[in-house]
């Protein structure tokens, strides 16, 4: 999650993360922190998820990447046929 979005959500505090991330373009970044238990709406259900907060350029259409751990939590089934 971009830091600008975290700032707009007024949630916190951020927890320290002891690792860095390698992004798709090959660059490496240090997350600012981890935000726990953020409510996420998927269809007609709400689940609590954790997000890493990263300092990245501010945009009006901030992208949030959901990864596989959210799928079982939300009860999602993926048909790959």
The domain locations on the chain are 3-74
Dihedral of CA atoms 30, 31, 32, 33 in degrees, nearest 10, equals -140
Dihedral of CA atoms 67, 42, 59, 4 in degrees, nearest 10, equals -80
> Helix, strand, coil % (nearest 5) of the chain?
15, 30, 55
pTM (two decimals): 0.67
Ordered per-residue pLDDT tens for the chain, 81 residues:
888 888 888 887 899 999 888 877 888 888 899 988 888 777 787 878 888 888 877 766 656 666 556 666 666 655 555
């Amino acid at each position: 999650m971009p830091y600008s979005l975290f700032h707009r959500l007024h949630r916190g505090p951020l927890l320290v993360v002891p690792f860095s991330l390698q992004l798709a373009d090959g660059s490496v970044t240090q997350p600012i922190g981890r935000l726990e238990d953020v409510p996420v709406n998927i269809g007609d259900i709400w689940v609590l998820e954790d997000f890493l907060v990263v300092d990245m350029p501010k945009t009006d259409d901030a992208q949030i990447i959901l990864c596989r751990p959210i799928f079982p939590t939300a009860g999602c089934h993926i048909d790959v046929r």
